[in-house]
Amino acid sequence: MTNVVVIGSQWGDEGKGKIVDWLSERADIVVRFQGGHNAGHTLVIDGTSYKLSLLPSGVVRPGKMAVIGNGVVVDPHALIAEIDKLEKQGVKITPENLRIADNATLILSLHRELDGIREDAASTSNSGVKIGTTRRGIGPAYEDKVGRRAIRVMDLADVETLPAKVERLLTHHNALRRGLGEAEISHDSIMQELTSVAERVLPFRDTIWLLLDKQRRRGARILFEGAQGSLLDIDHGTYPFVTSSNTVAGQAAAGSGMGPGALGYVLGITKAYTTRVGEGPFPTELDDEIGQFLGERGREFGTVTGRKRRCGWFDAALVRQSVATNGITGIALTKLDVLDGLDELKICVGYKLDGQDIDHLPASQGQQARVEPVYITLEGWKESTVGARSWADLPAQAIKYVRQVEALIGAPVALLSTSPERDDTILVTDPFED
Ligand code: IMP
């Protein structure tokens, strides 16, 4: 039985929501394995739109189980707010359809506050690096996880040991806050915060590796829903302008407790051009009217923060890199229709670095800032591709563009999405049937 891992192959916002929703209809279980409520997408089901940030997509579909794995950082306030909002829309969320790893790390209000303080400080001084985070506390929570002082879901149930854990956490945070000139946080306020959410969170907790192992053995179809994109990966992305988790497909195993041999098909969601929110290098960025055209036509505004996304040509060198680092089996190419009407299209095939040709983005921050894209130019098409449901509906130049993308990145198109509507999808290979 094939399981499927869905990841973003660029800087996030590739249109994973629609594809994950489309695949979740075929899955029994949908698992998040990294990130937190910094992700965000809107699902439209039977005319009703649902906004999800932390909860896996499967949660809005009756009969599916949604799982938050240990690799996710869980803000209990965001979790409760999202559950309540969905319940108001008629979606029942119970331990029957949502399970949360007991060993997942919690994001607390102190993490969210610290994220904001650091971003503000970096904007007004030269001492920090402004990342342009979502200010949700994601980075600070992962820091505490790796620093072995995090409060985890299971700790909410352990009233005996919780005070000592909070003490350890605060020793670190209050030292940090003193250094930043911020008021210290009291032990009582954190204890209160934790006890106020415990009752709502604890019913969902489970031993996720065990649950997935049992389900996998009985033949359940498991869909792993990645958040952000491979170029925001803490190791493989454009460091330090990255998120704080591993976003590549391998994390589906580590972030859920299912062995990598059982992961199956890796579907890389890939936008037909490139976008990025937040700071950091972007070799094919367009600061001209074409960039503006892509932003407007593609409605490129962040789902979580509402920020305008930076736009540019398709960077095949970057996606080729993602094909390798994720082991992508096939891609879902999205937003091809946004390119309709352009006279010519450019695709970046590699870079020039200090006069030398290179075929991949180097890891060094300085070199990433210096690379210049090397382009090939293709003829555009005038016809609309919106809503195309078969290859026959596509203009010849659009097919040429898609074939060129496949050849340059070294992976085939499994799905082609031609509008935000679920059914406007050309299916070449069903990842669950491969
Ligand atoms: P953080 O994940 O909030 O720490 O933000 C770190 C970087 O990742 C920033 O550049 C954010 O804009 C970016 N980022 C985080 N989540 C997303 C996402 O869902 N889509 C696109 N970019 C994201």
Q: Is the pLDDT of residue 168 over 70?
A: yes
244 alpha carbon to ligand 1 midpoint, in Å? 9
Range from 124-128, 197-201, 414-418 carrying the lowest mean pLDDT: 124-128
Would you say the CB of residue 73 lies under 6 angstroms from ligand 1? no
pLDDT band at 421 (very low <50, low <70, confident <90, very high): confident
* pLDDT for residue 85: 97
pLDDT at residue 305 in the model = 78
Length of the chain equals 434
**Mean pLDDT of all residues belonging to the chain:** 95
Q: Which of 21, 28, 37, 41 is catalytic?
A: 41
pLDDT digit string, tens, across residues 6-23: 999 999 999 998 899 999
Atom of ligand 1 at shortest distance to CA of 138?
Answer: 4
Q: Which domains does the chain have, with CATH numbers?
A: 4-102+204-265 (3.40.440.10), 105-201 (1.10.300.10), 271-427 (3.90.170.10)
pLDDT band at 307, cuts 50/70/90?
Answer: confident
User: Is there an atom of ligand 1 within 6 Å of 93 CB?
Assistant: no
Q: What are phi and psi of 133, to 5 degrees?
A: -70, 175
pLDDT score recorded for residue 125: 67
Nearest CA to ligand 1 atom 16: 38
190 backbone dihedrals φ, ψ, rounded to 5°: -70, -40
Write down the pLDDT at residue 302: 80
**Confidence at 93, pLDDT banded by 50, 70, 90:** very high
Per-residue pLDDT at 127: 65
* Cα–Cα distance measured from residue 332 to residue 18, given in angstroms and rounded to the nearest whole number: 11
The token duo for 379 is 């003829």
| 155 catalytic per annotation | no
Q: pLDDT tens digits for 252-302?
A: 999 999 999 999 999 999 999 999 998 999 999 999 999 999 999 999 988
pLDDT (0 to 100) of residue 303: 74
388-398 residue pLDDT tens: 999 999 999 99
Ligand 1 pocket test, pick from 32, 57, 277 with the greatest ligand atom count within 8 Å of Cβ, gives 277
| Predicted pLDDT at 433 | 84
- Could you give the CA distance from residue 46 to residue 115 in angstroms, rounded to a whole number? 37
What is the mean predicted confidence (pLDDT) over 373-379? 98
CA distances from 23 to 4, 5, 96, 152 (A): 9, 10, 21, 30
For a pLDDT cut of 90, what percent of the chain falls above it? 89
38 lines ligand 1 (CB under 6 A): yes
